[in-house]
Amino acid sequence: MKVYPWLDSIAAPVVGTKYALGEGCELLNKLDDTGWVIDGTESSYMLEEAYVYEHIAEGMLLPEPENPVDSKAVAVYLRFVATKKSMRPHKMAVRIGYLPEESRYKKRIKKATMVKIHCRDMIFGTDPARYFDAEVVDVPLKLTSKEYEGMAMDLDLE
């Protein structure tokens, strides 16, 4: 009997968040102050001296062939939603970083691709210091039928 492997997605870290958002997450602070929140499912808990907010959120991978540093760069965008109905636009995408140079996904992303992003937003102490990290958790592998056929195995059930 011919069987095929189940294709679980593998997480890919997002790099360059400090550059994109600021050393102390200044961009996230400005978004918060002006009524924008991460568009996704949020959970929170205390961890020693920090409040930790975790999100499973909508995101997008976008190739940047004109990037002067890396023509194979793939930017990672996170979707934000307005907290007031009167705000326009009501949803927007903000670049939070890039897929790492060694990511196996980079060669497969040729156009804008919707993904899920797992984010951790941590706020420390009474003098708020903020730390943010993210990883892409659901990337469509976009295998061709021939590539998937090549992964087939024969299984003897007798």
Confidence of residue 10 (pLDDT cuts 50, 70, 90): low
pLDDT in tens, 65-90: 999 999 999 999 999 999 988 888 99
Q: What is the mean pLDDT of the chain?
A: 89
Write down the pTM of the prediction.
Answer: 0.82
Backbone angles phi, psi at 64, to 5 degrees: -125, 75
Q: Which residues contact 56 (CB under 8 A, 6 or more apart)?
A: 40, 41, 116, 117, 118, 137
Average pLDDT over every residue of 53-60? 95
pLDDT at 93: 96
Average pLDDT over every residue of 17-33? 92
pLDDT in tens, 88-142: 899 999 999 999 998 878 888 889 999 999 999 998 876 678 899 999 987 766 6
Backbone CA torsion sign across 11, 16, 18, 20 = negative
Q: Are 135 and 14 in contact (CB under 8 A)?
A: yes
